[in-house]
């Protein structure tokens, strides 16, 4: 495997992230800049209302409102010889709206192109700082967190945007709570399966009990049952996956997106859970590759700061955009491996990475709109498709290397995959 990055990965946690004095993932709390849901033409109001038969759950922080709107049709297995779609999954760590308008900006973008995404919500973003001692992080003092607690106005904005996201068909996963990275005893790197279970239960509780914790009585409930909605996650700094996976499987989770250093190949299962890693993609101007996340591109451009000289921004913005596009094009024109892109709602280096994500998204969406079988979906939606494929088909797809075209073309390569039903077996040894 080629060197993924010369200057550090998000999964290192204590490396470039520490040098920058920031957490690698998640938004930071701060003073109010606005009390609403951020800027953007869509605002933070939901485009759909929950059904009239909504059934409150618990204290009414969440409610069952029926089947999630705006979902793709029922997935079906590929026919023998059929070319697989090109799946592209944009995901967001933290998913807090802190007055910078980024959450609604990307909801608007997805809505304009009929796309869906995954938002990994940090549970602490729904817990007021005045109630922080309710959080009991493993191997850390009560209330400790390496990301900031949000102001009341920003909690409200986050609730409004999470609600809108689900009603528009997006997935709400989890980014857990306190975002503890590095090598210290408190880092998620060292948590046991039992400690991960505690962290998960707390993350779910902060979502399911925000009305009790905030005292807000004028906002509607989140329109989903989080116990059923939550089927996947991404850990802080991509650390701790090995001990998380047994707990994820026990809880019935279907996938995990925490693995660092993945390649652009079809995924396999680990411990019975689909493993969706961030992927190494071409990095224009370099012989090494970079992980498909805004932070990792930042770490290879400005190294030890999120506020480099503005004169660098145009070139870096274009380099980041072209990295994402190169990753997409390589997969689309060869093995059709799903393309995973991770992001944060951030304004690092003048917001150039947000601009790069949007530009790459529009490039990919144009391919779809020109008739290519490109699907901009959530992790959950992709998993739905993968789980109905025949085991023989999945094994054949997993056999393709990075940038490898199928021998004889797709019709010949997948011509003998008519047997079996569904990808129920664990293909972790197939790639």
- Pick from 80, 15, 1: nearest CA to 298: 15
Phi/psi at 123 (nearest 5 deg)? -60, -35
Instruction: For residue 363, give the CATH number of its domain.
Output: 3.20.20.370
Instruction: With respect to residue 420, please indicate whether it lies within any of the assigned structural domains.
Output: no
35 pLDDT above the threshold of 80: no
| pLDDT confidence band for 119 (50 / 70 / 90) | very high
Q: How many separate domains does the chain show?
A: 1
Instruction: With respect to residue 430, please indicate whether it lies within any of the assigned structural domains.
Output: no
Higher pLDDT, 38 or 406: 406
pLDDT digits (tens, 9 = 90+) for 325-349: 999 999 999 999 999 999 999 999 9
Averaged pLDDT for residues 263-279: 98
Q: Which two tokens stand for residue 153?
A: 């106005």
Strand spans (E) along 62-136: 62-64, 86-94, 118-121
Averaged pLDDT for residues 40-61: 65
Instruction: With respect to residue 426, please indicate whether it lies within any of the assigned structural domains.
Output: no
Instruction: With respect to residue 199, please indicate whether it lies within any of the assigned structural domains.
Output: yes
Averaged pLDDT for residues 62-75: 97
In the prediction, which pLDDT does 50 show? 56
Residues 6 or more apart in contact with residue 129 via CB below 8 angstroms: 29, 149, 150
| pLDDT confidence band for 418 (50 / 70 / 90) | low
- Pick from 201, 188, 353: nearest CA to 258: 188
Averaged pLDDT for residues 367-379: 97
CA quadruple 26, 32, 36, 40: dihedral positive or negative?
A: negative
Averaged pLDDT for residues 194-212: 98
Instruction: With respect to residue 66, please indicate whether it lies within any of the assigned structural domains.
Output: no
45 pLDDT above the threshold of 50: no
Q: What is the pTM of this model?
A: 0.88
pLDDT digits (tens, 9 = 90+) for 137-176: 999 999 999 999 999 999 999 999 999 999 999 999 999 9
Strand spans (E) along 231-347: 255-256, 269-270, 273-275, 280-282, 289-291, 339-344
Determine how many CB atoms are found less than 10 A away from the CB of residue 41.
9
- Pick from 150, 199, 205: nearest CA to 177: 199
28 pLDDT above the threshold of 80: no
| pLDDT confidence band for 419 (50 / 70 / 90) | low
pLDDT digits (tens, 9 = 90+) for 280-290: 999 999 999 99
430 pLDDT above the threshold of 60: no
To the nearest whole number, what is the mean pLDDT of the chain? 88
In the prediction, which pLDDT does 426 show? 45
- How large a percentage of the chain has pLDDT more than 90? 83
Averaged pLDDT for residues 231-243: 97
Averaged pLDDT for residues 239-258: 98
d(CA 54, CA 56): 6
> b/e per residue, 192-231, with b = 16+ CB within 10 A?
eeebbbebbebbbbbbbbbbebbeeeeeebbbbbbeebbb
41 pLDDT above the threshold of 50: no
Instruction: With respect to residue 68, please indicate whether it lies within any of the assigned structural domains.
Output: no
Instruction: With respect to residue 62, please indicate whether it lies within any of the assigned structural domains.
Output: no
In the prediction, which pLDDT does 417 show? 75
Phi/psi at 331 (nearest 5 deg)? -70, -45
- For residue 251, the enclosing domain spans 10-30+76-413
Averaged pLDDT for residues 81-108: 98
- Residue in the structure block whose two tokens are 């961030």: 278
81 pLDDT above the threshold of 50: yes
Averaged pLDDT for residues 28-50: 38
47 pLDDT above the threshold of 70: no
Instruction: With respect to residue 61, please indicate whether it lies within any of the assigned structural domains.
Output: no
Strand, coil or helix: what is 93? strand
In the prediction, which pLDDT does 252 show? 98
Higher pLDDT, 19 or 230: 230
């Amino acid at each position: 495997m080629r060197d993924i990055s010369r200057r550090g990965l998000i999964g290192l946690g204590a490396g470039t992230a520490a040098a920058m004095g920031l957490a690698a993932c998640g938004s930071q709390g701060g003073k109010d800049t606005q009390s609403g849901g951020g800027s953007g033409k869509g605002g933070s109001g939901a485009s759909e209302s929950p059904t009239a038969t909504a059934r409150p759950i618990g204290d009414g922080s969440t409610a069952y409102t029926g089947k999630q709107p705006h979902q793709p049709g029922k997935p079906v297995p590929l026919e023998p010889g059929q070319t697989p779609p090109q799946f592209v999954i944009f995901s967001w760590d933290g998913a807090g709206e802190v007055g910078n308008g980024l959450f609604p900006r990307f909801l608007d973008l997805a809505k304009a192109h009929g796309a869906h995404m995954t938002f990994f919500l940090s549970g602490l973003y729904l817990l007021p700082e005045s109630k922080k001692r309710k959080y009991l992080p493993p191997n850390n003092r009560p209330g400790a967190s390496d990301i900031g607690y949000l102001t009341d106005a920003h909690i409200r904005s986050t609730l409004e945007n999470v609600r809108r996201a689900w009603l528009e068909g997006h997935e709400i996963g989890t980014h857990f709570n306190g975002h503890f990275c590095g090598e210290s005893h408190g880092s998620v790197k060292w948590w046991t399966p039992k400690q991960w279970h505690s962290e998960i239960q707390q993350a779910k509780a902060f979502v399911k009990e925000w009305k009790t914790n905030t005292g807000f009585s004028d906002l509607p409930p989140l329109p989903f049952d989080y116990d059923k909605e939550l089927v996947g996650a991404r850990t802080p700094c991509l650390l701790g996956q090995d001990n998380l996976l047994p707990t994820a499987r026990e809880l019935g989770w279907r996938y995990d997106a925490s693995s660092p250093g993945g390649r652009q190949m079809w995924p396999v299962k680990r411990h019975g859970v689909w493993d969706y890693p961030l992927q190494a993609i071409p990095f224009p101007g370099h012989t090494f590759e970079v992980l498909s996340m805004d932070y990792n591109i930042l770490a290879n451009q400005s190294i030890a700061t999120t506020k480099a000289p503005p004169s660098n921004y145009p070139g870096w913005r274009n380099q980041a955009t072209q990295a994402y596009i190169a990753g997409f094009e390589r997969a689309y024109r060869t093995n059709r491996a799903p393309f995973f892109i991770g992001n944060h709602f951030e304004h690092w280096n003048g917001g150039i990475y947000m601009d790069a994500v949007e530009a790459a998204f529009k490039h990919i969406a144009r391919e779809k709109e020109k008739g290519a079988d490109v699907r901009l979906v959530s992790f959950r939606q992709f998993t739905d498709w993968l789980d109905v494929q025949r085991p023989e088909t999945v094994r054949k797809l997993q056999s393709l290397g990075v940038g490898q075209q199928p021998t004889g073309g797709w019709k010949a390569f997948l011509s003998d995959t008519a047997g079996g039903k569904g990808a129920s077996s664990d293909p972790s040894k197939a790639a």
